[in-house]
Amino acid sequence: MNSDVVEVEVKGTLPTSGGCAVFLGNEEKVFVIYIDQMVGNAIMMLMKDMATERPQTHDLFSDVLKALGANVQRVVINDYIDEVFYGRLILTVENEIEEKKILEVDARSSDCIALAVKFDAPVYVAKKVLEQTDDVSEVFDRVESGDLIQKDEEDDNLIV
């Protein structure tokens, strides 16, 4: 694996008034990506392995990928520009048409995270992106322990 990226795990989600906070991190650092509520709910449901009455968008996309012989190998949060995270889906395709092929697809970081959870695939973040993020380990620990946190109403960011 490329040394310009670091593996992180999806630690949890937290609804906000403007959407959802997704906590990603490792032993050294936890950071947050703010996403829309619908994808945030999907990630939370996927993490908790909750059943739905009808397939959701990420279920549909997952089923189509599987039908085509594709699998999410990994995802990479590869860039952070103007407060927007960018992601890449790394797919492996193996079927009767293609012997074996690796595809890299541009995708929203939130969709990448949802599909990584759905496929139980690793999530990586570029070191340059990780360096630009604030460490919210303490905030995440408080969320996990059930302590209440506040949110900065002006920019919808979490504050201690």
CA distances 5 to 75, 90, 91, 129, Å, are 11, 14, 17, 9
Strand partners for 105: 89
- Report the interhelical angle of 57-67 vs 109-119 (nearest 10°): 60
Does residue 158 have a pLDDT over 60?
no
Does residue 148 have a pLDDT over 60?
no
Q: Give the chain's domain count.
A: 1
Does residue 78 sit in helix, strand or coil? strand
Q: What is the pLDDT of residue 111?
A: 96
Question: What CATH code is carried by the domain that includes residue 133?
Answer: 3.10.690.10
Q: What is the dihedral of CA 35, 83, 23, 79, to 10 degrees?
A: 110
Most confident of 42-56, 71-85, 89-103: 71-85
pTM of the model: 0.85
- Residue 73 structural domain: 5-159
For residue range 79-138, what is the model confidence (pLDDT) as tens digits? 999 999 999 999 999 877 768 899 999 999 999 999 999 999 999 999 999 999 999 999
User: How far is Cα 139 from Cα 147, in angstroms, rounded to an integer?
Assistant: 9
